[in-house]
Amino acid sequence: MGTDIHSVFQRHDKATRQWHDVPSHYEQDRHYQLFAVLAGVRNGHGFAGIQTGEAVTQIAQPRGLPADFAMDDEAHPLATLEHMDPGRRKYYEADEKLEQWMGNHSHSWLTSDEMLAWAEKAPEVVKTGVLDRVVYEAWDGTSQPPSYCGHISGSDVVQINDNAVEKAQTPNWTHIRCNWQSDLRAELAYFFDEVARLTVEHGKIRFVFGFDS
């Protein structure tokens, strides 16, 4: 079972002291490392507790939705279609309600200052995953593999760990569990660079979000 994020960026209006939705380029893709950083969701583990790597210190514990954040049942009303994330916008149909469902757990919000301060000191972490033999043999052994999964099973699967002893003892292996280092600032640049861009454009911003699973 997967987990997805549902979110809105907002700017602060000093004159009215109110928050207003703003469009962004963030497509709300499923990225568990980002979810872990934002709210500790899928932090170091995946579905059924499968290990995916080191847990990280999240930016903040989930705070719930802001008291002044407009909600209609479980959704946030949107003023215009441009405020919907690009990934979902292309599937929107004119007869649908213009709103952003905010998920059903781990609701929270973060300011641009908090997010950018974390990004400045983003650590490197050890990640782990299972690689197909073809992928493994073409992999450089240090960068993030081009494809991997958290777990695999099946009658044709022979999985080992990445060490010389197991490779020698099991020459017919088909999959292998490996570790690698990930620079989180580089891995999550697409998100934090967008936060920085919105901050330059709008001044004080906040990111309001929740998850489903």
Does residue 78 sit in the same domain as residue 172? no
Residues 93 and 140 in one domain: no
Structural domain count of the chain: 2
Same domain, 53 and 18: yes
Please check whether residues 153 and 107 belong to one and the same domain: no
Note whether 201 and 103 are same-domain residues.
yes
> What is the C-alpha separation between 144 and 81, in angstroms, rounded?
35
- Nearest CA to 53 out of 129, 124, 122 is that of 129
**Shared-domain flag, residues 110 and 33:** yes
Is the same domain home to 140 and 169? yes
CA dihedral 160, 164, 166, 169 (to 10 degrees): 140
Model confidence band, residue 171 (pLDDT cutoffs 50, 70, 90)? very high
Quote the radius of gyration of the chain (alpha carbons, Å).
20
Does residue 4 sit in helix, strand or coil? Answer: strand
Q: Rounded to two decimals, what is the model's pTM? A: 0.88
pLDDT in tens, 3-55: 999 999 999 999 999 999 999 999 999 999 999 999 999 987 776 567 888 88
Instruction: For residues 105 and 195, state if they share a domain.
Output: yes
Query: Same domain for 53 and 111?
Result: yes
Residues 55 and 86 in one domain: yes
Whether residue 134 sits in one domain with residue 101: no
Q: For helices 112-120 and 189-202, what crossing angle results, to 10°?
A: 140
| pLDDT tens-place string over residues 118-155 | 999 999 999 999 999 999 999 999 998 999 988 899 99
Note whether 85 and 102 are same-domain residues: yes
Query: Domain containing 13: what range?
Result: 4-122+188-212
